[in-house]
Homo-oligomer: A and B are copies of this chain.
């Protein structure tokens, strides 16, 4: 469900948020993925691996502050946004959360969107880049079936690769399908909970943060 006026209004607010980020040299990443893709586990592992970098997090969920608690346990500052029946974060919610979060100049800001591979693709949050997070358990055809988010993203994190031996999924085909939808996609295959393959992903984040400085 979407409307041109609503999207135009969001775009206006997102541009203001982006200008604010650029002024403060904050690198904001908008993480989008289905429920259970492992977005929060990825953030926990990433924050611990980037211990030399100032990070903050905005957590989006329909209900509960479970994810914010998991982030806070790492020592990272975090703000939870609950959307109720809403299916995605919007730029106004980010502007509101920033007032509470007060991220440092030059820091990395991770926004974890509501678990949904569909609607969040349409809403600019003022981020420097969208990152689509998917689990290998979701199957190799998903980039073709949900192309919008893969087209909108700059990077794909393919999570839970440790489970591949137990699945009928073909990770090479999955990556090929993602690149067919978006040839410019940076792809990182890893297991957040096992701590496998985190370094290339963290390297990409460091490079984005350096570029903003």
Interface residues of A (CB under 8 A from B): 1-3, 6, 34-36, 61-64, 66-67, 85-88, 114-119, 121-122, 134-135, 137-139, 141-142, 144-148, 160, 163, 166-168, 193
8 Å CB contact of A135 from B3, B36, B121, B144: B36
- Contacts of A148 on B, CB cut-off 8 Å? 62, 85
- Contacts of A168 on B, CB cut-off 8 Å? 193
Once the chains bind, are A115 and B117 in contact (CB under 8 Å)?
yes
Once the chains bind, are B62 and A146 in contact (CB under 8 Å)?
yes
Known A-B contacts: A1-B2, A3-B3, A115-B118. Give 20 more (CB < 8 A): A1-B6, A1-B88, A34-B35, A34-B36, A34-B115, A34-B138, A36-B138, A62-B118, A64-B141, A64-B145, A66-B145, A85-B122, A85-B148, A87-B87, A115-B145, A115-B146, A116-B117, A116-B119, A163-B166, A166-B166
8 Å CB contact of A144 from B63, B114, B144: B63
Identify whether the interface residues of A are mostly helix, strand, loop, or mixed.
loop
- Contacts of A3 on B, CB cut-off 8 Å? 1, 3
- Contacts of A87 on B, CB cut-off 8 Å? 1, 87, 116, 118-119
Q: Which residue of B lies closest to A82 (CB)?
A: B145
Nearest Cβ on chain B to A53's Cβ, whole angstroms: 27
A34 to B117, CA, bound (A): 8
Q: Which residue of B lies closest to A163 (CB)?
A: B166
8 Å CB contact of A163 from B137, B138, B142: B137
- Contacts of A119 on B, CB cut-off 8 Å? 1, 87, 116, 118-119
- Contacts of A116 on B, CB cut-off 8 Å? 87, 116-119
Known: A85-B122, A87-B118. Is A145-B35 also a contact (CB below 8 A)?
Answer: yes
Nearest Cβ on chain B to A142's Cβ, whole angstroms: 5
26 contacts between A and B (CB under 8 A): A1-B119, A2-B85, A34-B34, A34-B36, A35-B117, A35-B142, A35-B145, A36-B135, A36-B138, A36-B139, A36-B142, A62-B118, A62-B145, A62-B146, A62-B148, A63-B147, A64-B141, A66-B144, A85-B121, A85-B148, A87-B116, A87-B119, A119-B119, A137-B137, A163-B167, A166-B166
